[in-house]
Amino acid sequence: MFNRVLVIIFILTLLISGISAAEDINLIRNPFNLQKTEESDEFIWSDMKSAINFVLTGIMEGNNKRIAVLNTPEGTELIKNTYSQDEVKIVQIDSDRIRIRYKGKLAYMLIGGELIEEN
């Protein structure tokens, strides 16, 4: 029993010292740090625009299902649920637009290809 307690104390000591050392060299990212800079947002937004290589040309609807019609470099593609290419993901198909996620940033694409940044 005493050996188990010593092992647990040793492991906790290693974990605590490892966390404080990692914090010192900025290896732990704070998920609650909500500070954003306009420069980084602008970079992601312009990067998103260049990463998207398709245009929403239409949306078909029937039987409570929606299908997005995309014009891609490979030709016309029909997307039923989600679409993923590199870091660009279609996460939702609405009646007049699709919702796109890129590096944690969300945007809408209207039929015709206009991108609208989601706040």
For residue 29, name the pLDDT band (cuts at 50, 70, 90). low
**What are the phi and psi torsion angles at 115 (to 5°)?**
-95, 135
pLDDT tens track for 16-26: 665 444 444 44
Give long-range contacts, CB 8 A cutoff, 24+ apart: 42-48.
Answer: 44/102, 44/103, 44/104, 44/105, 45/105, 45/107, 45/117, 47/102, 47/103, 48/88, 48/100, 48/102, 48/103, 48/105, 48/107, 48/115
Residue extents of the structural domains in the chain: 38-117
At residue 11 the predicted structure's pLDDT band, cuts being 50, 70 and 90, is confident
The tokens 């492991």 sit on which residue?
Answer: 11
| DSSP reduced 3-state for 74 | coil
State whether CATH 2.30.30.830 applies to domain 38-117: yes
Per-residue pLDDT tens digits for 79-91: 998 888 888 999 9
115-117 and 65-72 as β-strands: parallel, antiparallel, unpaired?
A: unpaired
Residue type (1 letter), 81: N
Predicted TM-score (pTM) of the model is 0.63
